[in-house]
Amino acid sequence: MRILFHVDMNSFFASVELSFRPELKGKPVAVAGSVEDRRGIIVTSTYEARARGVKTAMPVWQAKKLCPELIILKSNFERYRTASRNMFDVLRSYTSLVEPVSIDEGYMDVTQYHGQIHPYKLAEQIQEQLIRDMSLPCSIGIAPNKFLAKMASDMKKPNGITILRKRELPEMLWPLAISEMQGIGKKTISKWEKANINTIGELATADSGMIIEKFGSSGLKLQNRAKGNDDRPVNPDSVHDFKSIGHSTTLPMDTKNEQKIDTILQQLADSVSHRLSKKEVVAYGIQMTIKYHDWKVTNKSEKLRNPSHSSNDIYQRARALFKRAWNQEPIRLLGISTYDLVDKRHAYKQLNLFSQEKDVKDLQIEQAVESLQKRFGQHALVKGANGYEARRRWIEQRSLRGTSLEKPDDK
């Protein structure tokens, strides 16, 4: 039998900040993209702040209204990446079988310790070392597979250790709401509830034929997980912290035709956006690559003020970089790559309330595009040189019809 741990750091960004400012421990603290009351967005917060209603993605002004004594700290992603690397180094000191799945969580296969030390005692040692060496708290789930270990680590926070055995599923797991199951997206919760599946137990015991009919093969996979079955190995080579995601194409013929070039840039941006979405990451940097007819290569890059995985953002930035870089010579190859990638859950955007309506609309358009591409193929909505804007107009007319885009009260 395998023994797997899921290690989940508690309020990671806030905890890292508190490790540098220990005098703030025990106080309501939040990390935000900007410390200005009107423009900042909460990235994460301590449990003391959460107890007062402070939530991720909440505007700073709203958080301060709920918790006037809230201490706001500006985010420092380089500091968090360093802490993440050090944290995973600690985990690897126990076993080489460590698989990072985000900046602040990962799986460990500690089966090698079977018969030498009780898993609970080993988890305590890991917790204690992370506190002693880095002042960082975590919760650890212990189970025979990845799914159950992940579910277990969510059961006691902060600083919890939970063992979840298969025989304990009817008492510990199955009573939980379907919305609490790993792998169930927020957008699909209502679909499960309409099928009279409101708990994880109801999913586990539902008729498999009905599950396949309504939810397809992915639904059947989730049902198997609900039953406690998951044979995925802990894979140290499945590194989440990829350097960049990009796409390039060699043109059929060298060209200086700007209309053709623009069409290719749109298609490249769509491809890169699609891959970012699949990996559930956003980019802080864009790079444009041009290879000319004589094989000379030019690269231009730019850091983004706000992280993005939006096809439109990538296209607009790449197009601007292309105009700055192109020397008017015939082009053989074009490439767009994104770098400085961060998990979507830990990204933030410094929203200006005056432009928030546009931000919301753009987000909904991108979500609608992604949904249609999943159904009909990645390039289903690309329509020639003016395809991008035509696509956005088409989506906006049909997918946003009747959608409320109200801004929050400007208080």
Nearest to 228 by CA among 251, 248, 208, 200: 200
Q: Are strands 138-143 and 161-163 parallel, antiparallel or unpaired?
A: parallel
Residue 51, CA atoms < 13 Å, CB-side half-sphere: 10
Cβ neighbours for 342, distance < 8 A, ≥ 6 positions apart: 77, 103, 281, 282, 283, 284, 307
For the annotated binding site for Mg(2+), the residues are 8, 104
Distance CA 131, CA 315 (A): 44
Q: Which amino acid is at 168?
A: E
Q: What is the dihedral of CA 126, 128, 134, 139, to 10 degrees?
A: 60
Distance CA 291, CA 16 (A): 42
Question: What single string gives the DSSP state of each residue in 326-389?
Answer: --SS-EEEEEEEEEEEEEGGG------GGGHHHHHHHHHHHHHHHHHHHHH-TTTT--STTHHH
- In three-state secondary structure terms, 90 is helix
What angle is formed at CA 208 by the lines to CA 207 and CA 212, rounded to 5 degrees? 125
Start-to-end C-alpha separation, the chain? 57
Structure tokens at 59: 């505007």
For the annotated binding site, the residues are 8, 104
Point out the catalytic residue in the list 17, 48, 99, 105. Answer: 105
Distance CA 170, CA 375 (A): 35
Q: Which amino acid is at 265?
A: L
Number of CB atoms found within 10 A of residue 398's CB: 10
To the query of whether residue 329 is one of the catalytic residues in this protein, the response is no
Distance CA 333, CA 281 (A): 26
What is the set of active-site residues?
A: 105
